[in-house]
Structure 1
Amino acid sequence: MGIELIRGNILNVFTGDIYPAEIEIEDGIIRAVRRIRGEYDHIILPGFIDAHVHIESSMLTPSSFASAAVPHGTVAAVSDPHEIANVMGVSGIDFMISDSSEAPMRFYFTAPSCVPATPFETAGAEISAGEIMELLGRDSIVALGEMMNFPGVIAGDEEVTAKIEAAKAMRKPIDGHAPLLSGDDLCTYIAAGISTDHECVTATEAIEKRELGMKIMAREGSSAKNLRDLLPAGCDFLVSDDIHPGDLLRGHLDLALRRAVEYGADPVEAVQMVTINPASHYRLDTGAIAPGMHADLAVVDNLRDFTVRRVYIGGELVAADGRCTYRMKKSAPISVNRIKVKEFSEEDLEVESDADEVTVRVIDVMDGQIITEESRAGLAVEDGFVAPDPSADILKVSVIDRYGKGNIANGFVRGFGLGEGALASTVAHDSHNIIVVGTDSEKMKGAVDLLRESGGGLAALSDDRCMVLELPVAGLMTDREASEVAEELEEIHDFAYELGSRLGAPFMTMSFLSLLVIPELKIGDRGLFSVDRFEFVDVIVD
């Protein structure tokens, strides 16, 4: 490859200084950095690192994700593949690692710590402590993935403890997931060895966790946007966590940096949050312009707009002026899936009662947040079935097991605003059973049937129209171009808005209704679940 020289104003993430320099690169590695004289109209930054992302949530395979993220200056990502792991186990992780090798972007992975996320739902696989130890032995696995089972950590659960000890033995960090955890329970959680948290939603929460030594990840994704609220508390990383393809095309960490500066962050400190901070934490050979590091660089116009002009990975120009300059390799056609739904009827999606009217628990969603609240509502009973009340924005929600067990759970949700029809998805964190929200059981079953026939994805259905965004890779992803997927996603979102949805990202919001580790009220394939009480609760209140 030979020796290459790149000159410009560089940002030294160790000192915070900006000065003209010459970067000498040999075989993709920075060999020397020398101060020089000269005037330049650009700043060379270390390439950006997304320290916490679930690639599956972009609906793109890693190689397709890279083609959308790299032009925004992203050169690396620490990805937790627990979405596909919950569907397919270690073979799903192997797929992610294999597919990621087809793109120049550096993908690092974490070993999913909670597969399944809880024992209260049906998942497609289980990853044991022994398998965690094997995964952590791989060079591409840089940490133990987010420990969502914080009750298990606090209680000293044997299997949970074994996974944590495996990470300690391999000297790899342990990512956290502890929404609203506080006080002595938080201390116990941190004492177990958990070092990060990406679930803070208030500055008060972030401050308490930082005071106890945790590193705080501020999310700017498609559903959760916590940066503005957390910045006053101080943050260590800027991450996306979950991001849709349309949002990814509009901006990734470059957009997060721009927003951070708009919200009052020091520009240099903001850059450190997506470069040296994650690189140091996960021990990556990127994230700084320094000898011995990979020559992964993002050339920007200034530290206000962060418009990315050029991107280098391993010294190779991989993007310029918003477009990739590399040609992605394509392997054989992808055939990775697992959807097996037992036959069911419309009546299986009903909540039964022999009363004339009942009081039910309702899941209240909040736009832009993955947490929910619990409320109560009085609903009429018609022909033995509890009827939703779309006029009051109280709809039906069901989760249908997709792994052949036959479980179905039903409940009620408020916040979607549908006046007719149904929305359904095989993307339903974390076990990814089929979730459907609608005004009546007929439309809901019709939307689910569309997914069964297509092999997975997102579906919307009304009286006279239907639409499916197909996700053939585990019912979570596709290897198509991000622009194609983004266009289809926009179309199906528009369809949802025509049905009355008032949410910014209705399918992503719906996907988190089944995440049984995020407060307050959720629903899995085995029933309605109170996260605060960590137990199932009845839909109908006595």
Structure 2
Amino acid sequence: MISAALTVEQRQRLVRVARGQEDGDLLIRGASVVQPATREVFEADVVIAEGRIAAFGPGYGAARVVGARGAFLAPGFMDGHVHIESSLLTPAGFARAVLPRGTTGIVAEPHELVNVVGAAGLGWMLDAGRSSGLRVWASAPSCVPASEFEQGGAAVGAADIAEMLALPSVLGLAEMMNYPGVLNADPGVWEVLEAGRRAGGFGAARRMDGHASGVGGRDLHAYAAAGLHSDHEATTPEEARERLRAGLWLMVREGSAARNLAALLPVLREGPRRAMLVSDDVSVDELLELGHLDRLLRMCVSGGLHPADAVALVTCNPAEYWGLHDYGLLAPGYHADCVLLKDLAGFEVLETFVGGQEARAGSSTPPLPGGGVDLGAGWSAATFDVPAHWPVMEVRPDQITTGMGAPGSGDTRLVVADRYGRAGPGQTAHSTCWTSGTGLTGGTLGISVLHDAHNAAFLGGTDADIRAAGAALEQLGGGVVVVAGGEVRASLPLPYAGLMTDADPHAAAAAVGQITAAVRALGCVLPYPVTTLSFLGLTVIPALKLTPRGLLDVGAWQMIGGADHN
């Protein structure tokens, strides 16, 4: 939902309304206005016309009046970096979940979808976003696949990225995850960086998002010197401060798989000028149970931030970073995206407005071809032995990083299989390793959501249960399944590229809840098992990750072993 620019006539009417010469369209009377630009809260009437803020102050009239009665009026919340697909929802479903929480705009990074269906996935995301009820912008995926160790359903090069950057509502280059390629002058990676630079015009790059997990010291400075502008991978105060000193915008991430806000609150209390809050990846069940950016605001204020400073982290700061100059403040001429709040501690939302209208989520999603699951003709007879000398992947419940344990210390198998039908006749392409930390002692959790290539992953279980889970995913066309004793105990079909459902968010969350309950009954101790499992194949996050080709030591940037072909 991206508004067109005002015509001269509309802008002149806005001026007349601001001068009190003409009534506006909407008057919000008696609000306590949150102004992050001046770090204050003041009482005022706010008049809106042509979808924009006209003015605030006494004596204005409007065709419609809403009595705020002292409730707090803040700019609409903006998530500056989010993968909609990780919620398991389409943009319309995501809007249904977050609009009631005060989120009015997002910058989507659709590399999950682009990894499955190619560059057309970005266009689909923008099309679906326009009818969602949210303002949906996007960044152009820079790493499809994320590294040379991954292979998804598509590969995107510099020429494709240049075309994506030319699309309306695409604000810049998405997170550059292949930091080894940046640091080591990989030609393909640098062609992508140059495409981002050329898209800015006049010799200035558009925003180029960073993704530098574990990078510090000279390598971090070199990464920033390559032209990257931000990073959302800081997990400690020291890492956060180092990024700010290097001139990078600090995106403080608090999602379902990686929770960094509590650790970085000391840095935010220092008042950094160039910081924002982002969710990155957040599951539908958490969105409905705990909230979206409103939850992060509660954490910030309870952690000692002034409410106006906290609000800036999800309004004017992300808007400034992305060059959205008429968003993120309640000020004359700015888009009338705002949220009426009961208080500035719990951030309970009373009403959300987008363009001066009560927010309403869309109900339709455009069709999306492609994206099923084909594990190969040999899947029904596959076995999943683990090489005895391989190290163990130590799974962490609240981070997307993993540890490296000694061989023999694992207790749960992980299988990752190519889902795109590339195995030869009678074959299947997969690899297997041991994990620790999940607690899963029986049955199998299977998914077709595996960042970033989105192959199929299976945690735990006997060979028979793993094969049954794979067969169930193929039948669903992608999704999430729990199998025990050869029977499907819970499932969620994801017909949109094997990543998303158009179901009502409450129905989707209920299905995820049933899946979580089913795997917990089998011993799993992960708070969000689906989300955590979905990151165990992402090759740009330390320390160990599994792909169909084998087990990768991310720090050494080399495969420990090759894939089994059964």
User: Structure 2 length as normaliser, TM-score?
Assistant: 0.88
Change (3 A) 1:205 1:35: farther
Q: Report the equivalent of 1:269.
A: 309
- CA distance in 1 between counterparts of 2:47 and 2:169 reads 27
Instruction: Tell me how large the CA RMSD over aligned residues is.
Output: 2.0
- CA distance in 1 between counterparts of 2:372 and 2:70 reads 52
Q: Report the equivalent of 1:499.
A: 522
Q: Report the equivalent of 1:322.
A: none
Change (3 A) 1:268 1:297: same
Residue from 215, 218, 223 that aligns with 1:184: 218
Letter in 1 for 2:531: M
Letter in 2 for 1:500: G
Q: Report the equivalent of 1:398.
A: 415
Deviations 1:130-165 (A, max 9, x none): 121111122210121000000111112222222222
Q: Is 1:13–1:268's contact at 8 Å kept on the other side of the alignment?
A: yes
Q: Report the equivalent of 2:334.
A: 293
- CA distance in 2 between counterparts of 1:480 and 1:336 reads 19
Q: Report the equivalent of 1:280.
A: 320
Q: Report the equivalent of 1:373.
A: 403
- CA distance in 1 between counterparts of 2:308 and 2:259 reads 21
Q: Within 5 Å, which residues of 2 pair with 1:482-493? A: 482-493=505-516
Q: Within 5 Å, which residues of 2 pair with 1:288-437? A: 288-318=329-359, 326=360, 328-331=362-365, 335-345=369-379, 348-351=382-385, 358-378=388-408, 394-406=411-423, 407-437=429-459
- CA distance in 2 between counterparts of 1:411 and 1:36 reads 69
* CA drift at 1:166: 2.2
Residue from 175, 190, 194 that aligns with 1:161: 190
- CA distance in 2 between counterparts of 1:205 and 1:498 reads 38
SS of equivalent to 1:512: coil
What runs of 5+ residues in structure 2 fail to find an aligned partner?
A: 1-9, 11-23, 61-66, 201-205, 424-428
Letter in 2 for 1:191: A
Change (3 A) 1:332 1:218: closer
332-341 vs 499-508, which moves further: 332-341
- CA distance in 2 between counterparts of 1:100 and 1:64 reads 10
Deviations 1:24-76 (A, max 9, x none): 22221222233679994211100000111100000000111001100000000
Asked if residue 508 in structure 1 is aligned to residue 531 in structure 2, the reply is: yes
Give me the identity figure in percent: 37
Letter in 2 for 1:23: V
Q: Is 1:122–1:403's contact at 8 Å kept on the other side of the alignment?
A: no
Number of residue pairs matched?
516
Q: Within 5 Å, which residues of 2 pair with 1:11-410? A: 11-34=34-57, 40-171=69-200, 172-234=206-268, 236-250=275-289, 251-284=291-324, 285-318=326-359, 326=360, 328-331=362-365, 335-345=369-379, 348-351=382-385, 358-378=388-408, 394-406=411-423, 407-410=429-432
Displaced runs of 4 or more, over 6 A: 35-39
Letter in 1 for 2:336: A
What runs of 5+ residues in structure 1 fail to find an aligned partner?
A: 319-325, 379-391
Deviations 1:331-354 (A, max 9, x none): 56655424332122466442377x
Q: Is 1:425–1:456's contact at 8 Å kept on the other side of the alignment?
A: yes
* CA drift at 1:359: 4.0
413-422 vs 51-60, which moves further: 413-422
* CA drift at 1:509: 0.9
Q: Is 1:513–1:522's contact at 8 Å kept on the other side of the alignment?
A: yes
Q: Report the equivalent of 1:323.
A: none
Q: Is 2:28–2:68's contact at 8 Å kept on the other side of the alignment?
A: no
- CA distance in 1 between counterparts of 2:475 and 2:390 reads 33
Q: Report the equivalent of 2:471.
A: 449
Q: Is 2:433–2:551's contact at 8 Å kept on the other side of the alignment?
A: yes
Change (3 A) 1:477 1:345: closer
User: Structure 1 length as normaliser, TM-score?
Assistant: 0.91
- CA distance in 2 between counterparts of 1:82 and 1:327 reads 23
Q: Is 2:373–2:473's contact at 8 Å kept on the other side of the alignment?
A: no
Q: Is 1:21–1:36's contact at 8 Å kept on the other side of the alignment?
A: no
- CA distance in 2 between counterparts of 1:209 and 1:109 reads 23
Change (3 A) 1:56 1:82: same
- CA distance in 2 between counterparts of 1:330 and 1:39 reads 32
